[in-house]
Amino acid sequence: MPATLSHLGVQTLFSKILYRDADLKWIALGCVIPDLPWIAQRLIPKILPGVDLYDLRLYCIIQASLIFCLILSAAVSLQVRERRKIFALLSLNCLLHLLLDAMQIKLANGVHLLAPFSWELLKFNLFWPEDSISYLLMGSGLVLFIFFGFRERNQEIRLIIDKKSMPIGMILLLIYLAAPMLFLQGPLKANNHFIATLSEPSTRTGKPIELDRCTYDSSTGKVTTFNHEPIDLNYTPLPKVSATISIKGFFSSPQTIKVETLHLHHPGYRDIGVLLGLLFILLLWLIAIVRKRVTIR
């Protein structure tokens, strides 16, 4: 996925064109909703070390689909005075986020706009995270965030907690958290992220495989999958330094991948854009709360 700063730039611009008075705080929240499952995927194994990482990946794939993003958006917008407008704004930004994700080249990955009716991954594969357009988008996100964040520093958000909206919101939140368990077989059968291939080592040989942003160890010539499994690479020449790489090829044996395409990711830049974007969004909301620009009625 593009860095969070990139999402802020593109989505703020589009949101302001369609809704001139759109509050940056809601735009920013819409930017991050589709990424919440992937943030959780990093945290959950540290809290629950024994969790099945294949099932966790399937759960996150489902929860990051458009329909589940809309369910969470509805749960949030029900607690706001202008609930229809906020739901439309959050929904728009969830859709924009997923479409922007689909534009980046991300091996083994893509987005789901039609789930649970279709688990086919949508991907346009237009640019790598290291391409110049990625840095341009990150820069635009930084500029637009500073500009609108300062200009709208006094804009208020009025939350409404009542006997009708709160229970419905809680039910929607429960659906968001629990319902993905009902659809695990969908992305598994579609072999999303090549989970079906990776989870059955005895039947791997001859099957195609793609791995996105996996860790490569130059001392062993192995990559480590998201399930923490080391796998040998058959490729010439292999990178001389340990790095984050994306690969495409096929299994020549259960523990060896014959690599046809290898992309070496530049260290740091995308991660910095992600961390800065998330930090800015968190600070935006915290400052509004501290300054009492978020009120409850």
Q: Is the pLDDT of residue 92 over 90?
A: yes
How much is the pLDDT for 128?
92
**d(C-alpha 69, C-alpha 92), whole Å:** 10
Tens digit of pLDDT for each residue in 189-214? 999 999 999 999 999 999 999 999 99
Contact 104, 129 (CB under 8 A): yes
Using CA atoms, how far residue 197 sits from 18, 94, 192, 209, in Å, is 43, 30, 9, 8
- Quickly state the pLDDT bin for 269 (edges 50, 70, 90): confident
Between CA 43 and CA 26, with CA 134 as vertex, the angle to 5 degrees is 60
Q: Are strands 157-159 and 294-296 parallel, antiparallel or unpaired?
A: parallel
Instruction: Label residue 272 by pLDDT band (50, 70, 90).
Output: confident
What is the DSSP secondary structure assignment for residue 238, as one 8-state letter? Answer: P
